[in-house]
Amino acid sequence: MHPMSDSPYQPMHGTTILTIRKGGKVVVAGDGQVSLGQTVIKSSARKVRYLAGDKIIAGFAGSTADAFTLFERLESKLDKHPGQLMRACVELAKDWRIDRYLRRLEAMMIVADKDVSLILSGLGDVLEPEDGIAAIGSGGNYALAAARALADRADMDAEAAARRAMQIAAEICVYTNNNLTLLSLEAK
């Protein structure tokens, strides 16, 4: 059974990806744990990376091979629609819904550029959070709640809030660790 078939918001197990927009910066953070069932296979995986010449940050939850397929497809869409992250994501979502091979992929993505942060799911969703904060993965709801609570703190910039929110998620979710990859861009 496809892990996202029951609900578009069913978490992918094995990771936490978080994005925060604050103070003219957008940050995407991901933990480093890779789990196979109840076993930690790797603790230092990089699930967040730059795309499109370092103009876009993308992070994934779910199957690694499937996520890299999606990264490649997204980069292809960005080549066709340079500087138009929303349009490229909508085009990818259309393919993801229609293409029989892509429909079987078990991954979700968060992508962000200087203008917009988006969640992409295999159900064809391209979701933009109202507050610039979004999270996916098994620890996503914990990181999301923590990030929303920390977002208004004047003493924390986007990076500090993301680090603390991810730390909180790692303390609660057994599929999330404290080995973070955190990438940022200047935002509008």
What residues act catalytically?
15
Secondary structure in 3-state letters for 15-26: CEEEEEEECCEE
**Cβ atoms < 10 Å from Cβ of 37:** 7
- What is the C-alpha separation between 65 and 21, in angstroms, rounded? 28
- What is the C-alpha separation between 35 and 39, in angstroms, rounded? 5
Using alpha carbons, select from 41, 67, 23 the residue that is nearest to residue 159: 23
Size of the chain in residues: 188
- What is the C-alpha separation between 48 and 187, in angstroms, rounded? 18
Q: How far is CA 6 from CA 3, 118, 120, 121, 123, in A?
A: 7, 21, 16, 13, 10
Residues 6+ apart with CB under 8 A from 188: 24, 114, 115
